[in-house]
């Protein structure tokens, strides 16, 4: 049962007599507990809503097109509370957050509904038999799963959860039901790499064609690991070995299944000093959100826009400063130098921001903080760098609302501290180039 907090004006629900404050009990006799129940049961042309109004049962019938929304609003997008994670993973990034951040930065979700709705990854340790059956009945697909290892005992150790090994059997149940699976492996040095990684890739490949893709990403380690499981960074040589191992396995999958299935994140290539593969290597970029192929795609998009701009011959007499993390720095420099050659009068400073907030080993732009940017921009100014008229920083460094960095600093505060206007750029190479070449 979920409370209705709003009914849209002139909606099907309002016309049928549904009121704000009513409690939705069921649709067509099926109990409604959350957004998945609601959306699935609503996909009928005729629906009967069982409501509670002032303690009395009310029945409302609505005729509609199957895909039509009826106009109800609920307290939360999930119509329920988020499910928190029950694990204590040895590599958990949230456990490595420093004190003093926003409360939401410390919440660990492990919610199958968010996996389907927003692409979040789940460990499956939270799933009940009812939820498994519901995923299969509703054909909730694709399902994003944090696997890490298919060795049951090792998975229990890595997740610090005694059920973490036995729930691996759910993968076969989902695959047999035709549920598509996207998986990730957070690789920890000396733990689930080497022979264990080979085993995991073999076991997961056996789930094809249900298995769509797997990303292999290095465990993110901050400087705030006091009292946590001892983990260390992969050396450049070890990064190269991981890239070689995954590439070789992907080659075999390509020959056998027609898809590579397994990809390393860009970070392994950057740390190992290995040239990133071309666009076509990544097929449909299904693991882009895990940093797989993000840099090659960004540069390809940027170059396509620059090819177009070269014919347009734009002019913009302005000096700009672009800030980025260490991982993307070299690629951003290449794009900016070419932008200068295409656009007469354009001058771009590229500043590589060291992550002092989380530690230097954290190199992605999405974890840059306003404080680190401000401090290092000020340092660059003191060393004679001309910032120009505008500073551009990656939008993914802000929370979803676009108003705050992870350390609570706002873009307006950043602008005030460095003395020039600031603006964001998105993780799209074409739009990034447009922000450089054109004033609006």
Residue-wise pLDDT tens digits, 106-139: 666 655 555 555 567 889 998 889 889 988 988 8
pLDDT surpassing 90 at residue 51: yes
Q: Which two tokens stand for residue 149?
A: 């290892």
CATH superfamily entry for domain 2-74? PDZ domain (2.30.42.10)
| 94-289 shares its CATH topology with 297-437 | no
Q: Strand, coil or helix: what is 173?
A: helix
pTM: 0.84
Write out the CATH class of domain 94-289: alpha beta
Report DSSP letters for 281-342, one per residue.
GGTT-TTGGGTSSHHHHHHHHHHHHHHHHHHH--EEEEEEEEEE-TTTHHHHHHHHHHHHHH
pLDDT of residue 2: 87
Going by C-alpha positions, the residue among 224, 255, 218 that lies closest to residue 238 is: 218
Residue-wise pLDDT tens digits, 346-388: 999 999 999 999 999 999 999 999 999 999 999 999 999 989 9
CA 239 to chain centre: 22
pLDDT surpassing 70 at residue 235: yes
The burial of 278, by beta-carbon neighbours within 10 Å (0-12 exposed, 13-18 middle, 19 or more buried), is given as exposed
The DSSP output letter for 405 is: B
pLDDT surpassing 80 at residue 275: yes
Instruction: Give the domain ranges of the chain.
Output: 2-74, 94-289, 297-437
State the Cα–Cα distance between residues 295 and 14, nearest whole angstrom.
48
297-437: CATH topology: Rossmann fold (3.40.50)
Neighbours of 401 (CB within 10 A): 6
pLDDT of residue 400: 76
pLDDT of residue 121: 85
């Amino acid at each position: 049962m979920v409370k209705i907090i709003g009914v849209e004006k002139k909606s099907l629900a309002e016309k049928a007599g549904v009121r704000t404050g009513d409690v939705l009990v069921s649709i067509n006799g099926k109990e409604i507990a959350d957004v998945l129940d609601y959306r699935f049961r609503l996909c009928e042309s005729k629906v009967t809503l069982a409501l509670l109004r002032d303690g009395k049962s009310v029945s409302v019938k609505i005729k509609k097109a199957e895909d039509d929304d009826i106009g109800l609003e609920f307290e939360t997008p999930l119509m329920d509370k988020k499910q928190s994670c029950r694990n204590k993973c040895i590599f958990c990034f949230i456990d490595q957050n420093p004190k003093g951040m926003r409360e939401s930065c410390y919440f660990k979700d492990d919610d199958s509904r968010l996996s389907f709705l927003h692409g979040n990854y789940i460990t499956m340790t939270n799933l009940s038999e009812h939820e498994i059956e519901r995923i299969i009945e509703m054909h909730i697909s694709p399902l994003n799963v944090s696997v890490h290892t298919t060795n049951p005992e090792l998975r229990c150790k890595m997740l610090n959860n005694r059920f973490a090994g036995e729930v691996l059997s759910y993968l076969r149940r989902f695959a047999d039901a035709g549920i598509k699976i996207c998986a990730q492996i957070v690789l920890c040095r000396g733990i689930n790499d080497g022979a264990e990684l080979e085993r995991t890739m073999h076991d997961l490949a056996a789930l094809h064609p249900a298995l769509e893709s797997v990303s292999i990403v290095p465990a993110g380690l901050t400087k705030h690991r006091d009292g946590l499981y001892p983990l260390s960074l992969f050396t450049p040589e070890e990064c190269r070995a991981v890239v070689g191992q995954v590439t070789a396995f992907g080659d075999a999958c390509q020959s056998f299944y027609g898809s590579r299935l397994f990809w390393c994140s860009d970070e392994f290539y950057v740390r190992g000093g290995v040239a990133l593969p071309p666009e076509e290597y990544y097929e449909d970029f299904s693991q882009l959100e895990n940093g797989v192929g993000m840099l090659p795609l960004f540069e390809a998009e940027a170059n396509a826009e620059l090819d177009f701009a070269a014919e347009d011959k734009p002019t913009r007499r302005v000096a700009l400063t672009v800030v980025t993390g260490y991982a993307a720095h070299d690629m951003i420099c290449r794009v900016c130098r070419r932008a200068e050659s295409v656009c007469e009068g354009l001058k771009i400073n590229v500043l590589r921001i060291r992550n002092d907030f989380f530690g230097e080993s954290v190199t992605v732009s999405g974890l840059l903080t306003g404080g680190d940017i401000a401090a290092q921009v000020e340092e660059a100014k003191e060393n004679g760098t001309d910032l120009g008229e505008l500073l551009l920083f990656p939008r993914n460094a802000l929370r979803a609302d676009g108003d705050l960095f992870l350390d609570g600093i706002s873009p307006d505060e950043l602008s005030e501290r460095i003395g020039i206007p600031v603006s964001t750029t998105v993780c799209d190479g074409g739009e990034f180039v447009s922000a450089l070449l054109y004033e609006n």
